[in-house]
Structure 1
Amino acid sequence: MTWLHHIIGPDDGSATIAQFCARAVILFLYGILCIRIAGRRTFSNLSALDLIVALVVGSNISRAMTGKAPFVGTLAATLVLVLLHRLVALATVRSNWLALFVKGRPAVLVRDGEIDGKAMLRHGISKEDLIEGMRMEQVAHLNEVALATMERGGKISIIRKTRPARPPV
């Protein structure tokens, strides 16, 4: 361990420029390792759990970088958190109960062009948020919406009403 402390410097913020650069290289590689272990999903479609893990991992790496926390202990605790996140993610695939507990369930906001005001209020979705979600799906009018759902990841998904087929000309 002495060799590592020689490379990364002390944990009191008094490391040399070269030691901070060594920390940066180690933490960059460590961050890639954490992403590979946690899975790409963790840092792309952020659920509440994914967001918390991403913030804590970033915070821990930052503190290890600046010497505000013990380097090795911080990396060990971060790795435990990432592994725990990965295990919970794998367990939610196998357990519907755990998936509902961790991820919640989707909420229907619009059905057949009719807004469910209670669902929107319960999930903190304004009409402007709904209209934004519709624009993202290239839907201009509420009467075009068969189903709008607040998904477990926080995205609003839209299913258009089917249009009757046009007769051949």
Structure 2
Amino acid sequence: MIAETGAFFVWLLGLDEDTLSVRHMVARAVVVFAFALMIVRFGNKRFIGANTAFDVILGVMLGSVISRAITGQSPFVPTLCAALVLVALHGIFANVAVRFDPFGTLVKGSARRLIQDGKVDWDAMRRSNLSRDDLLEALRLRAGLQDLEKIKEARLERNGEISFIRHDE
């Protein structure tokens, strides 16, 4: 029975084929989608909701690796194992980053203060590759304001967004 099941999956996924048919590609897409969903759900939930470079890199690499399993550019099972290792590595790095701040800063970056008491730190803006127009756009979109002097503090956060704290009115 186990041998028959194994033979069925070899046939269905085209594991012994040099050229993949539509059946193989569709079956691989279903298996890889289910596998990717499982390992992402099993992994760190931050990866989907957060957009730090640390998380984006996992998304790009995971997509690149698992796509190869669907198209047959790489061996099927080793490719899925590589995807699992990427998600596990992301989880390990995230756990170390939580416990060891310098490592967290290394892999996730750090926030940078752009405004303090209505005054723009132009050196921080230059180091962040942000223009005055970028800052004003973020101010309008995120704080609903047009006047920088109403801002107590603004920071370029680790995920690339600018956060604003208003002066108490």
Aligned to 2:81: 76
Flag structure 1 segments of 5+ consecutive residues without an equivalent: 164-169
5 Å matches for 1:7-156? 7-10=12-15, 14-135=19-140, 136-156=142-162
- 1:166 is aligned to none
Query: In 2, distance between residues paired with 1:13 and 1:139?
Result: 60
Q: What is the DSSP-based 3-state SS (H/G/I as helix, E as strand, rest coil) of the residue aligned with 1:31?
A: helix
1:37-65 residue CA offsets vs partner (Å, 9 max, x unmatched): 23221122211111111000001111111
Q: Which moved more, 1:23-32 or 1:1-10?
A: 1-10
- Between the two proteins, the alignment pairs up a number of residues equal to 163
Provide TM-score, normalisation by structure 2. 0.89
State which drifts further: 92-101 or 5-14: 5-14
Contact 1:8-1:20 within 8 A present in 2 as well:
yes
Amino acid corresponding to residue 149 of structure 1 in structure 2: R
Letter in 1 for 2:97: T
Read off the aligned partner of 1:102 and give its amino acid letter.
Answer: V
TM-score (normalizing by structure 1): 0.89
Q: For residue 3 of structure 2, what is the aligned residue in structure 1?
A: none
Name the CA distance, whole Å, in 1 between partners of 2:65 and 2:7.
22
Tell me, yes or no, if the aligned pair for 1:12 and 1:68 is still in contact at 8 Å: no
Kindly report the root-mean-square deviation, in angstroms, between the aligned alpha carbons of the 2 structures.
1.7
Give the 3 Å change call, closer, same or farther, for CA 53–16 of structure 1 in structure 2.
same
Equivalent in 140, 147, 166 of residue 160 of structure 1? 166
CA distance in 1, matches of 2:48, 2:30: 21
